[in-house]
Structure 1
């Protein structure tokens, strides 16, 4: 899935970033968020689903929704604010109704 210029502007607004000096970093986090969602949900993010015919197996696609967008913003924001793998001196916990809660309804179960 390609991120549009409009979506990148919304991401930067979410991160409270002015200017373009960190655009490459934000783009990397955005690509990682797309990858995370596609792996978690087991399908390619798409704007519209491919029509299914009776003779073929449906493609592994996940419809890009506002919930998925919100989960991606949470992921990107977390990675942007916490740039290291270790958090020293702080108590951390997972937010209820966070990323997994937003994505769980889109996950494909085998």
Structure 2
């Protein structure tokens, strides 16, 4: 289940009027949300906003950055400039990271 509205990601990657990649974008959103849950060592519920309208804003931005990065860098290695997932993602998620194995 994807909690992020695909419209947010489509706006982020500037594909608002393009529907050919919608299924692929949903896969990226699901993977990004799962990666955030694993990295923070938190449940989805703990990362949702208090208003119940999606993720907390910094978590949502990290998900969009991850999915957008993967959308633009579709291969593990590219002949173009090698890029790493922006440090910004870690900076956005660090306050939510639970250290240790407890959940």
Same fold (TM over 0.5): yes
Mapping of residues 1-110 of structure 1, within 5 Å: 2-3=2-3, 7-17=5-15, 18-46=17-45, 61-63=46-48, 64-92=55-83, 95-96=86-87, 98-110=88-100
Name which one, 1 or 2, has greater alpha-carbon Rg: 1
- Output the TM-score relative to the length of structure 1: 0.74
Higher-strand-fraction structure:
1
Q: State the alpha-carbon separation in 2 of the partners of residues 86 and 62 from structure 1.
A: 31
Segments of 4+ in structure 1 off by > 6 A?
none
Secondary structure of 1:105 counterpart = helix
Segments of structure 1 that go 5 or more residues without pairing to the other structure are 47-60
1:73-109 per-residue CA deviation (whole Å, 9 max, x = no partner) reads: 100110000000002242535644x101100100001
The number of residues matched between the two structures is 93
Distance change >3 Å, CA 79–CA 91, structure 1 → 2: closer
Which residue number in structure 1 is paired with residue 51 of structure 2?
Answer: none
- Output the TM-score relative to the length of structure 2: 0.79
Segments of structure 2 that go 5 or more residues without pairing to the other structure are 49-54
